[in-house]
Amino acid sequence: MSLSALNSYLPKPCAPPRPGGRPTRTKVFAQPPTLAILSDPHVLRLAETLEDSIAASSSSPPPPLQKLRDISSQSLLTTPWPSRKDEPFRFTDTSFIRNSEVHPVTLAPTQNLDVLSGLADSISPNIAIIDGYLVESLSNLSELPDGVFVGRLSDLNSKGLMEKVSKYVSNFQGDLFWSLNGVGAPDVVLVYVPEGCKVEKPLGLRFVSMNRSYKGSKSLPISNPRVLVLVEKGGDIGIVEEYVGGDGDDRCYWTNSVMEVVVGDGAKVSHSYIQTQSLGAAHVKWTSVSQGSKSVYELTEVSTGGKLSRHNVHVKQEGPDTVTELSSFHLSIGDQLQDLHSKLVLDHPRGFSRQLHKVIVAHSLGQAVFDGNVQVNRDAQQTDAGQLSRSLLLEPRATVNVKPNLQIIADDVKCSHGAAISDLEEDQLFYFEARGIDRSTARKALIFSFAAEVIEHFPDVTLQKKVENLIRTLLTPALPSGV
């Protein structure tokens, strides 16, 4: 096929972006044909739609945000939609999103928001992010210590802080979905904790999707929430990220979320993440963490919603003596795919990490994927890294694909990994029976206790109880009969 023939199929080229720092709206995607050959037209179309919707709604964005958009759109030029031939998506079928008519959400500020006033029951301080937009009227930030900033990047007045943020924005290159978020995020929600500051109460971030389409319609509204958590040296904060919107319905929407966490030297971030979105929704999330020396990052995750739920975790060690604890529990009770791809990159000595991943697939169409990568590079001597993945398959034809992988180059390390996929253990069931407890009660107790091991990691006890009740409710009707 000649270049000129190709040319006729592609968007017409227009003038290249004007030089100078003025944040004018430029159409980055109508590029010279040579670059466009490497692009995926579907991706480009989607990116253009996102770009248009952002430009329509906001005024001039702050420099870090503009930088983010530029870098992301640049990378989208050469990033195709992932296929099953790409290793990171080998077991994850994204055709559900690919084949829908994805359209961005613009926030209608007053529509139906009173419905959400029930959010006030959640922990405080908290902020509400509706369809990717921070909504102050539903947030409660009264109890934060001095110096802590929680709000939109566009509302940030401090120049010094803005400069700091600029440094961190898009240091990291994720995948297509990361870049789509970079182009489509209306703003960045910044959570800033100054040096030595300990935030006593955990900060709640509630993500709600109001724009939803009905099952069967091909349309899929997309929202791109983006959060940056910047914790300075010695800071300490707990974050509770909740994605709600289940209500037992199966409305469709796509939440394409990114959270970047920068943990300064000696700082501690305890991150709780709960996803209970609708069973017809697509949930794609990136959590990119960078840890300074002697810092502590603890992630406890429970994911039960979404038709397609994919969580990418990337933790990069920037200094020695770090502590990283990742605990996750995924539950598939219907025709759902729960996917966790995690990557821990260690380049400094004496890092300590533990990862526990548990999955229950309780439906014959249910699927789960786990890819746990740990890279212990040459300078990461005396690393102590452990990883354990346990999956419980409760129905015939339930599927789980597990790929624990450790890449170890340093030679003075202690690393372990284990994966087990099974039904409940017969010995444990018999122990219950031998004490007079009948088999089906024993099964219920053991299945619940399988999940409880991860739920116990939540730092906040009320949160633990809430999640325990949720899991109990989800598991009860889902239990297979005739055991």
Partner 1 sequence: MAMALFSPTFSFRISTSAPQRRRRRCFVQSSQATVAIEAPSSSTTDLLLQVKDLSAVIAESKQTILKGVNLTVRHGEVHAVMGKNGSGKSTFAKVLAGHPDYEVTGGSIMYKGLDLLEMEPEERAIAGLFMSFQSPVEIPGVSNIDFLNMAYNARRRKLGLPELGPIEFYGYVAPKLELVNMKTDFLNRNVNEGFSGGEKKRNEILQLAVLGAEFAILDEIDSGLDVDALQDVAKAVNGVLTSKNSVLMITHYLRLLEFIKPTYIHIMENGRIVKTGDISLAETLEREGYKAIS
Interface contacts to partner 1, rule CB under 8 A: 425-428, 430-439, 441, 445-446, 448-453, 456
CB of 317 to partner 1, least distance (A): 29
CB of 297 to partner 1, least distance (A): 24
- Residue closer to partner 1 by CB (options 177, 329) is 329
CA 181 to CA 255: how far, in whole Å?
Answer: 10
CB of 369 to partner 1, least distance (A): 24
Output phi, psi for 371, to 5 deg. Answer: -130, 105
Residue type for position 278: S
CA 124, 130, 132, 133 torsion-angle sign: negative
- Residue closer to partner 1 by CB (options 162, 452) is 452
CA 207 to CA 135: how far, in whole Å?
Answer: 10
CB of 363 to partner 1, least distance (A): 22
CB of 452 to partner 1, least distance (A): 4
Q: Which pair of tokens denotes residue 30?
A: 């109508």
- Residue closer to partner 1 by CB (options 214, 430) is 430
Q: Which pair of tokens denotes residue 331?
A: 């539950």
CB of 233 to partner 1, least distance (A): 36
- Residue closer to partner 1 by CB (options 81, 432) is 432
Output phi, psi for 428, to 5 deg. Answer: -70, -40
Task: Say if residues 47 and 70 touch (Cβ distance below 8 Å).
Answer: no
- Residue closer to partner 1 by CB (options 22, 435) is 435
CA 214 to CA 220: how far, in whole Å?
Answer: 9
CB of 440 to partner 1, least distance (A): 10
CA 248 to CA 277: how far, in whole Å?
Answer: 9
- Residue closer to partner 1 by CB (options 71, 446) is 446
CB of 438 to partner 1, least distance (A): 5
- Residue closer to partner 1 by CB (options 9, 430) is 430
19 CB contacts (<8 Å, ≥6 apart)? none
- Residue closer to partner 1 by CB (options 5, 434) is 434
CB of 434 to partner 1, least distance (A): 5
- Residue closer to partner 1 by CB (options 35, 420) is 420
